[in-house]
A and B are shown apart, each in its own frame.
Chain A
């Protein structure tokens, strides 16, 4: 074998040594190769499944696909709220430059572009839950200029992308803002609630109004997309998807014409005020508004906490829905309730006559009619027509009141006053019907500095004419008048009409049954309706100056409530047409003075819209108000 003789130029002593050393070197190489092959076998053949699973799992991003929220329509199918897509600026932190200085520089450039500080962006990134490549939404609704700048300078903004998202689009600006409510990202508390099952952080849910109440229909079902992303978080293909299901549409009972008429009348008056227009038989709200109001589109854009706080603290508290949250004394608008109590509990009969001398002495205190008028001998109908306070003082003086109730109080409760009205939007207030027990409890606890003495019969006298501690919201009063108008059914007010899915199929009709039926005799009802009809229809009636010329017969009662330290609260609550009303309209105006001055003209404008008469313009309202005079 020639191999053994080689090499030829080697000293003999090294020849054997070379053979040994080559053999050792070869053995080492063989061992190393064997180790590598064994490791390969172990990794790929024996544990291949395990590693394949790891690899498949790696870089797969489960992206939630948000559905478009259902639209909100008025009763005639006019769209009030739909969605629009906006370009939103998203940042993937993993895509930012790794060098600290470059990262800072990019954030500073971004901040400059968006008009926020670099620290704000850094905080936003920190506060967004991080998951491989999950984007942080920095801004929604990019200007075209910013959008184009970003697209043209993509390279200088690594990690930044522009994506389409849905936001609410309010077709009529602030129309019905309080009823519609707002949407917003779900908060951590809500995430734990059963009604938000299936939602995840970052989802948008209703936070107020019908958006809140009917959220589970409007919300839709989020879909998901499985996206393969690379090590830098860049999408590299779709692995599967589950499409999102758009939310169902909500058709309201609101009539946008009635709503607009009411809101523009409130705006023309310019005082804090509210109105409710409701079907007396079904409780379907045709219009409900509060002034001052706000632009709900504010909440579709990202703002800082300070901006949100400032928005909520604006003068006049525009976020408060005075129609169902504002409790005020009603003044004489309360008299039909007192009248019901007196007639049904047989304190008097319809023909009982009191001599209204203009004042009444109770226990050394002399109470006067508003405006100091003396109406002479009056029966119930006339007392309602002219709004005789002395007549109703008498009823208050004679009505029993004890403990948690009383004759007037019990009827007020039956009419739904002092209780939450059970409307389908959140936040409606209960108002307050004062009882001896309530007043005495507060007096003894010293919790309320205005309650400076225990209950006296004078409180009952005050209640009889809607003054004093009583607090009623416009919605409550409208509901009480509706019960009077429809013969005793205390309807459940609602703004939701029906839920319609994408294919036009009705998913649910919203027809809540009346809360209860009041036992009011037809005679009582007709006496009271007649009285307040005469108030609107006959010269000398309290709302005659405004409603006398109205072509459709109505029955309406003014209210003028004294409030501490301010001008009187103006009220008007009207049923039309008389004697078989379809609609009730209740209006209240803070510091509006006599009911006929401020509230009644607004109610007339709303009725004109409802009955499609000459659309009540601000001019005619003011003209009517100018003629208004006389006691509330």
Chain B
């Protein structure tokens, strides 16, 4: 090290952005995320002013609050050294399993499904947080053994670690989140470089076991999926006009989106405005966007998601640590899967699974969980920029 010499130039006072460490954030990813949450609030403001009598801003205020808390969490997490999470992997994993189990035992049931824990101020859905925690912990477990070549045994152990929380979530029952967890597991293992043969073997085993279990279950009269889940999963294969059928919701959503034409119906909207499309502020929020803002609005939202994914995938390559790449891979898979499946459901391409649209659907747990994931990505990005600056 050179001896410090008194400098003639006065170092400029660091700007607010520098002091917040935002210099090292990915501005495009940040723009996409803020754009999406802003669009969500804008949509809720337009579409839900009559939802709760006497409180036209009910959903707007709450979603705004979740957004503020989420953005703060994201910025906070981005300054945090994510690699330290590796040391906490056992604690985090244990806590995640415990939280999901707690919901199963003592959670609040809504429509027959135990997904929530009542907290003093709000109702918390641990499975939303579990998605992010699974990315972090599974990546850590993978990273531990990445220096040795993957044997089938270690692959199976990692698989078991990942599938355990998914299985618990399936039991709640929450089919959608369970599938997302499985997708995260597959993505992390995929990015980790698990040999193709292992994937082939896992795939074959899943088909055999799943098919076998389903066949055996049907034979014994045990239903692995709830009736409505089965209906939803198969309904999109044979749509009908019968409002009693599960495909009714999808039909209505498709009509809503289609009726938006190029520039949308704005306040003349009927499909989403008159409740023909259910869950319009949560799972089917994209139907509202499609009807009110047309192809222009829908494509704009999809474009923001594309920006987000592009920057997230870029983070996988930027990361100084393989651990960061693994986490980013899980998060990319998680977000893109949710977006594609949710929009696909609204457009009649995919079955109804109850998966929310990240940053767009109303809901605290979903918004906070997504911002936490984005905070991790920004942390990975910030670390890479810091290293590069050195």
Contact = CB atoms under 8 A, between A and B. Distances in A.
Contact of A48 (B261, B270, B316, B318): B261
A18 B319 CA distance: 12
B321 A230 contact: no
Given A11-B147, A21-B191, A25-B329, A55 B347 contact: no
B274 A40 contact: no
Given A39-B347, A44-B298, A52 B313 contact: no
Interface in B215-254: 254
Interface residues of A, number: 47
**SS class, residues of chain A in contact with chain B:** helix
A36 B339 CA distance: 10
B349 A35 contact: yes
A33 B309 CA distance: 10
Contacts of A128: none
Given A33-B306, A51-B257, A7 B274 contact: no
Contact of B320 (A7, A14, A59, A236): A7
Contacts of B210: none
B271 A55 contact: yes
A48 B258 contact: yes
B201 interface: no
Contacts of B305: 33
A40 B290 CA distance: 9
B276 A7 contact: no
B22 interface: no
Measured as residues with beta carbon below 8 angstroms from the partner, the interface class of chain B is 35 or more
A33 B254 contact: no
Nearest to A231: B275
B87 to A, nearest CB: 15
B353 interface: no
B89 interface: no
B336 interface: yes
Contacts, number: 159
B261 A18 contact: no
B340 A37 contact: no
Contacts of A6: 317-320, 384
A231 B256 CA distance: 13
Interface in B287-334: 290-291, 294-295, 298-299, 302, 305-306, 309, 313, 316-325, 329, 332-333
**SS class, residues of chain B in contact with chain A:** helix
B259 A51 contact: yes
Contacts of A48: 258-262, 294-295
Most buried by B among A3, A21, A40: A40
A19 B313 CA distance: 11
Interface string B357-390: 0000000000000000000000000001000100
B28 to A, nearest CB: 16
Nearest to A20: B193
B254 A18 contact: no
Contact of B347 (A25, A40, A236): A40
A2 B255 CA distance: 48
Interface string A1-14: 01100111111011
B325 A18 contact: yes
B191 A18 contact: yes
Nearest to A16: B193
B314 to A, nearest CB: 8
Contact of A36 (B260, B302, B316): B302
B381 to A, nearest CB: 12
Nearest to A51: B258
Contacts of A14: 146, 192-193, 322
22 contacts: A3-B318, A6-B320, A7-B320, A9-B322, A14-B146, A18-B193, A21-B193, A25-B329, A29-B332, A35-B344, A36-B302, A37-B302, A44-B295, A45-B261, A48-B261, A51-B256, A58-B271, A59-B270, A59-B274, A59-B276, A228-B270, A236-B274
Given A21-B193, A33-B306, A45-B261, 13 more contacts: A8-B320, A9-B323, A21-B190, A22-B313, A33-B305, A40-B302, A43-B257, A51-B258, A52-B265, A55-B258, A55-B259, A228-B270, A232-B275
